[in-house]
Amino acid sequence: MLDASSQAGSSRSGPLLSAISISKRYGDFLANDCIDLDLFSSEIHALLGENGAGKSTLVKVMYGLIQPSGGELRWMRQKVVLAGPSEARLLGIAMVFQHFSLFENLTVAENVALGLPPTESFAAISARLEETARVYGLPLEPKREVWRLSVGERQRIEIVRALMQNPKLLILDEPTAVLTPQEADQLFLVLDRLKSEGRALLYISHKLEEVKRLCDTATILRGGKKVATCDPRQETAASLARMMVGADIGEVKAMSGRSVSVPRLVIYKLSLEPDDPHGTHLEEVSLEVRGGEIVGIAGVSGNGQGELFSALSGERLSPAEGAIVIDGQAAGLLGVTERRRMGAAFVPEERLGHGTAPRMKLSENALLTGHAASGMVKKGFIDKPATLTAVDRTTKSFDVRKAKRDPEAVSLSGGNLQKFIVGREILREPGVLVVSQPTWGVDAGAAATIRQALIDLAARGTAVLVVSQDLDELAEIADRIAVMFHGRLSEPLDAAEATRERLGLLMGGANPAKPAGPQEAKHAVGA
Amino acid sequence: MQLVLEKRPERSTFIAVASPLIAIVLTLVTMAILFAIMGKNPIAALIVYFIDPLTDAYSLQEIAVKATPLVMIAVGLSLCYIANIWNIGAEGQFIAGAVCGSWLAVHTNGTDAGFWVLPVMLLLGAIGGALYALIPAICRVYFGASEILTSLMLVYVADLGMDYLVRGPWRDPKGLNFPTTAEFDPVATVPTLIEGGRLHAGAIITLIVVMLATVLLGRMIMGFEIRLVGAAPRAARFSGFNADRLVLFTFAISGALAGLAGIIEVAGPVGHLQPNISPGYGFTAIIVAFLGRLNPVGILIAGLFLALTFIGGEEAQISMKVPLDLTKVFQGILLFYVLACDSLIIYRIRLLRTIRKPVPAHA
């Protein structure tokens, strides 16, 4: 079944897929500006760039999801027009998306069958699924329902589904964003093997170390244009970053000698049933965050971080009053507004639809969290000038770039909107700040601004709790790091002792104090 | 060739304004075709429908009289719809208000009780409508029942309940067995604004309601809450607003306004309680709310336009012998087009030439 190598030929015979001068225009905005790219068989090609650099647009053109405004694609030197993904798949192009398209209530095999043409019997598909999974060392149980699976396992389904089409070119969109370091290592083994079979791989990422380690060629995009094509192994992470950003990134400066005061946020034996059937049950989560320190919560997403955030913000109430204590006052049974009035502030993970109402103006989005305690509402009436002033202050302090004074939230780029949301909360000078994925999908410049702002806020005496999947981020800003796994929170480690390996083991469910448990045994099978 | 709906990068403000107008034009074209099929001259029919009522003072007053309940109900409904809460039962709340207010009129009939009767009747009407509207709201909040179905079904309960009252306990003993209450006393009647005319004080109350709703939606935190719950429910929860409380609140307000419209209609133009006090105001108000873009001032304009179709329909029935039900057909087509045109705000239509297989052309 693995006949890709025999057909595709070696890289000497010319590129498998060439993008020639691809442009894509959305109104006045040029998402891709005359980009050239050649993909060869037996090669892992990295596509690097900040958010908004045009990576996704380019890949969608190559997968037939959108039509380019200019330029053409050539498949084995012949011009092709891809009217849709099905035509791309016919040629032998497969794609693994960053956001999975799986039906939670169906089994692994059913999900795979849904993505394949209906010419094959379900039994045949199940058999082929097991075979492919076994050959590539991607353990999957075909009969298991998807909602029982971890994010890493879900990604395996997507990869196996793509491999079952026996693609000549496999496109992966930020595949390690959701994985533990150990899971990522397993994935790299699979990718190396696919390369050795003669397939071409296009690997989209902004993790530089990973690209240096894995990829043969890297194409760097910035502002919709191709900046460079290089061999990432010959570059340093810093030189790659410079090409991506176009300037040196300012180092985040930790304020040394921060004075840590009393606990300002206390979580005490918080247990909570999930409110949706596929959620995670929080079990006796306890943590203290003192004024002046930043505590990080690491973990693969879906291990209860979302549930913990809604319990902390008050979107969901705790079973006991004392499960959450803000500045010495029991807050477990109080709602969001009351908690804000106690000096707490919250930044959720989702920018659009949770942190902001996308179609509302920034001034209205300032009111969204400011109505409780910022003097924006007087006797039931909105003080419109006060909301605009809040927008202006945030814009100035956090360098939020926008086309006009008060645009709709959705019109801002991800990084600028995140700066607005974080700034909106920080300018209220909260005593407690809980922030989830503060720099998720944000460009490097904005990420540095946000991290610096969090450090400065802690230096002013605020207790800051950061939930993040990005270990580098936590290493950079957190004083202590705890790990969330299956709804339980580990004891926090001092940042100095929290090595990637220790955190990675905790994120995979292993308790470093105990001998290897069944979780690790499972990983051993996979590797 | 292939027609596709393509998402616009931004909402089109032009279409947002033009959409109701496009819908009206499409409706007029469809109506002209219908008239032609019925063997009538389409141009003459449309003139009777839409131009003639605007040319004499009686019809103009009559348009305002019809627009009064439509606008008042639609303003209340718009508060629900903005928050993605679906009160379809305004017709029932209209009747419930009419019945509750009429209770006082019937029981003070002939006693010359005093000037307080009408204000209390209006208050009772509003309370009755609000309480009736709270039934589906409570069912949704506490039992998860779809408010669309329950509010709609309660329309028929209210209708039959009123029918029972006017045929039974409240029937006018001197009414020759007609199913109607006695004519309300002057103190229980909404005063007219023009001597000998039909335009009544309810029109002024409606204008006040429009103004209050504009202030509520544009300037008050409650209006922000309503808009936020509709636009982004998760953000609304994060904002600290309680969606359940809002269901109860918007249902109560829209029920109160429908009930108020009901008692004003009964104590005003009708003058007594009887079956068929409404030619479907509560349902037509749904069209008015959407045609007016869920905006109080837009609703005022849309209400006047829909009232015109009622009057025009009556005139067309008399002068051209077309069935009165054509008015309902007209209103239904209009709602259909309004909703269809609304999708153009977010999407645009594009014609794609069909692209066959990836064409392997030699470069």
Whether residue B39 is contained in a domain is answered as no
Query: Which residue, chain included where needed, has tokens 């008060």?
Result: A406
Helical segments of B191-295, H only: 202-219, 221-231, 233-238, 243-265, 281-291
- How close B224 gets to chain A, by Cα (Å)? 8
pLDDT score at A360: 93
Domain extent for B77: 51-321
Closest-CA distance, A9 to chain B, in angstroms, reads 19
Classify residue B183: in a domain, yes or no.
Answer: yes
Report CB contact under 8 Å: A371, B234.
Answer: no
A414 touches chain B (CB under 8 A): no
Phi, psi of A204 (to 5 degrees): -95, 130
How far B146 CA sits from the closest chain A CA (Å)? 20
Place of tokens 């348009």: B63
CATH number (domain holding residue B232): 1.10.3470
Chain Cα centroid distance, residue A380: 39
Across the interface, do B237 and A336 touch by the CB < 8 Å criterion?
yes
Q: How confident is the model at residue A286 (pLDDT cuts 50, 70, 90)?
A: very high
CATH of region A14-92+167-247, choose from 3.20.20.140, 3.30.70.1230, 3.40.50.300, 3.30.420.40: 3.40.50.300
**Is residue B360, in this structure, part of any structural domain at all?**
no
Q: Which residues in chain B have Cβ-Cβ distances shorter than 8 Å to A367?
A: 221, 224
When pLDDT is cut at 50, 70 and 90, the band that residue A7 belongs to is very low
Q: Do residue B238 and residue A346 have CB atoms under 8 angstroms apart?
A: yes
- Give domain status of residue B178, yes or no: yes
SS3 A418: helix
Chain A partners within 8 Å of B234 (Cβ) = 350, 353-354
Residue in chain B nearest A312 by alpha carbon: B238
Nearest CB among A27, A354, A371 relative to B221 is that of A371
Cα A479 to Cα A471: distance, rounded to the nearest angstrom: 13
Sorting pLDDT into bands at 50, 70 and 90, what band is A520? very low
Interface of B with A (CB under 8 A): 9-11, 219-222, 224, 227-228, 231-232, 234-240, 242, 355-363
Contact B240/A336, CB-based, under 8 Å?
yes
pLDDT band for position A181 (50/70/90)? confident
ipTM summary value: 0.83
Assess whether pLDDT exceeds 90 at residue A361: yes
Q: Looking at residue A12, what DSSP letter applies?
A: G
A369 touching B (Cβ < 8 Å) = yes
A437: alpha, beta or left, given left = phi > 0 and alpha = psi -120 to 50? left
- Strand A282-290 and strand A78-80: the pairing is unpaired
**B363–A79 CB contact, under 8 Å:** yes
Residues of A in contact with B353 (CB under 8 A): none
A35 or A101, higher pLDDT = A35
Q: pTM of the full predicted structure?
A: 0.76
- Cβ–Cβ < 8 Å for B122, B288: no
What phi, psi does A131 have (nearest 5°)?
-60, -50
What would the mean pLDDT of B121-147 be, rounded to a whole number? 97
Does the CA dihedral A150-A151-A155-A157 come out positive or negative? positive
Contacts of B228 in chain A (CB under 8 A): 357, 360, 364, 368
Asked whether residue B133 is assigned to any structural domain, the reply reads yes
Q: What average pLDDT does the structure give for chain B?
A: 90
* d(CA A301, nearest CA chain B) in Å: 19
Residue B4, in any domain of the structure = no
Burial bucket for residue A289 (CB in 10 Å: 0-12, 13-18, 19+): buried
- Whether pLDDT at B4 is above 80: no
Amino acid letter at A402?
A: K
Asked if B238 lies within 8 A of A315 by C-beta distance, the reply is yes
How many whole angstroms separate alpha carbon B331 and alpha carbon A285? 58
DSSP-based three-state secondary structure for A487: coil
CB–CB contact B228 A80 (8 Å): no
Indicate the Cα dihedral angle B260, B264, B270, B272, nearest 10°. Answer: 80
Q: How far is B226 from chain A (nearest CA, A)?
A: 12
Any chain B CB within 8 A of the CB of A74?
A: yes
Which of B221, B357, B361 is closest, CB to CB, to A377?
B221
**For residue A298, which phi and psi values (nearest 5 degrees)?**
-95, 170
Q: Determine the pLDDT at residue A521.
A: 38
Contacts of B232 in chain A (CB under 8 A): 353-354, 356-360
Q: Please state which of the ranges A24-33, A262-271, B200-209 shows the lowest mean pLDDT.
A: A24-33
- Residue B341: C-alpha distances to residues B9, B89, B110, B295, B344 (Å): 18, 25, 53, 17, 5
Selecting from B220, B231, B235 the residue whose C-beta is nearest the C-beta of A354 gives B235
Beta bridge partners of A93: A169
A215-236: average pLDDT:
89
**Which of A262, A212, A269, A206 shows the shortest CA–CA distance to A235?**
A212
Q: Is A79 on the interface with B (CB under 8 A)?
A: yes
Question: B67 to chain A nearest CA, in Å?
Answer: 30
Residue B258 or A405, more confident: B258
Q: Under 8 Å CB-to-CB from B115, ≥6 apart: which residues?
A: B187
Q: Contacts of residue A313 in chain B, CB cutoff 8 Å?
A: 238
Distance from CA of B117 to the nearest CA of A (A): 33
Q: Which residues 427-456 of chain A have a CB within 8 Å of chain B?
A: none
C-beta separation of A450 from A444 below 8 A: no
The tens digit of pLDDT for each residue in A442-486 reads 777 888 899 999 999 999 999 999 999 878 888 889 999 999 988
Q: What is the mean pLDDT of residues A24-44?
A: 87
Residue B363: its chain A contacts at CB < 8 A?
A: 74, 77-79
Give B239→chain A minimum CA distance, Å: 5
Cross-chain residue pair B232–A90, CB shorter than 8 Å: no
Contact A369, A315 (CB under 8 A): no
* A263-526 shares the fold of A14-92+167-247: yes
- The answer to the question of residue B46 being in a domain is no
pLDDT for A61 beyond 80? yes
Higher pLDDT, B291 or B96: B96
Does residue A180 register a pLDDT over 80?
A: no
Q: Is A375 on the interface with B (CB under 8 A)?
A: no
Q: What is the pLDDT of residue A8?
A: 41
Mutation pick from B221, B225, B348 vs chain A, by most beta carbons of A within 10 Å, is: B221
Q: Round to whole Å and give the CA distance between A432 and A347.
A: 11
Name the CATH superfamily, with its identifier, for domain A263-526.
P-loop containing nucleotide triphosphate hydrolases (3.40.50.300)
Q: Is A179 on the interface with B (CB under 8 A)?
A: no
Tell me the HSE value of A520 on the side-chain side, using a 13 A CA sphere.
Answer: 10
**Residue A118 in this model has a pLDDT that exceeds 60:** yes
Q: Could you tell me the two tokens for A364?
A: 């209205």
**Amino acid letter at B138?**
I
Nearest residue on chain A to B346, judged by CA atoms? A359
What is the average per-residue pLDDT within A36-47? 93
Residue B50 neighbours by CB distance under 10 Å? 18
Q: Return the exposure string of B315-338: e unless at least 16 CB atoms fall within 10 Å of the residue's CB, then b.
A: ebbeebebeeebbbebbebbbebb
Tell me the mean pLDDT in the region B317-334.
Answer: 87
- A370 to each of A363, B98, B255, how far by Cα in Å? 10, 42, 31
The two three-digit tokens of residue B229, written as one number = 């719950």
Say if A364 is an interface residue toward chain B (CB within 8 Å).
yes
Do B240 and A371 count as a contact with CB atoms less than 8 A apart? yes
Q: How many contacts, defined by CB atoms under 8 Å, are there between A and B?
A: 98
Share of chain B above pLDDT 70, in %: 95
CA of A399 vs chain B CAs: smallest distance (Å): 24
Q: Which residues contact A268 (CB under 8 A, 6 or more apart)?
A: A286, A322, A323, A324, A325
Half-sphere exposure of A365 (CA within 13 A, CB side): 34
pLDDT at A74 (0 to 100): 93
Distance CA A466, CA A437 (A): 7
Among A69, A86, A349, A360, the strongest candidate for a mutation testing the B interface, having the largest count of B CBs within 10 A, is A360
Going by pLDDT thresholds of 50, 70 and 90, the confidence category of residue B11 is: low
- Number of independent structural domains in chain B: 1
Q: Which of A150-159, A262-271, A329-338, B79-88 has the lowest mean pLDDT?
A: A150-159
Residue B231 lies in a domain: yes
DSSP structural state of residue B341 = H
Per domain, the residue ranges of chain A are 14-92+167-247, 263-526
Annotate A134-183 with DSSP letters as a single string: HHTT----TTSBGGGS-HHHHHHHHHHHHHTT--SEEEEESGGGGS-HHH
A355 in contact with chain B, both atoms CB, cutoff 8 A: yes
> Which residues, in sequence order, are bridge partners of residue A408?
A361
| Interchain proximity A382–B9, CB inside 8 Å | no
Is the predicted pLDDT of residue A235 greater than 90, yes or no? no
Q: Is A42 on the interface with B (CB under 8 A)?
A: no
Integer-rounded Cα Rg, in Å, for chain A is 24
- End-to-end Cα, chain A, rounded Å: 22
CB B75 within 8 A of CB B210: yes
| HSE-CB for B331 with a 13 A CA cutoff | 28
Contact B360 A80 (CB under 8 A): yes
How does strand A263-272 pair with strand A282-290? antiparallel
The answer to whether the CB atoms of A381 and B237 lie below 8 A apart is no
Distance from CA of A472 to the nearest CA of B (A): 28
d(CA A219, CA A205): 11
Q: Which tokens belong to A76? A: 């084995």
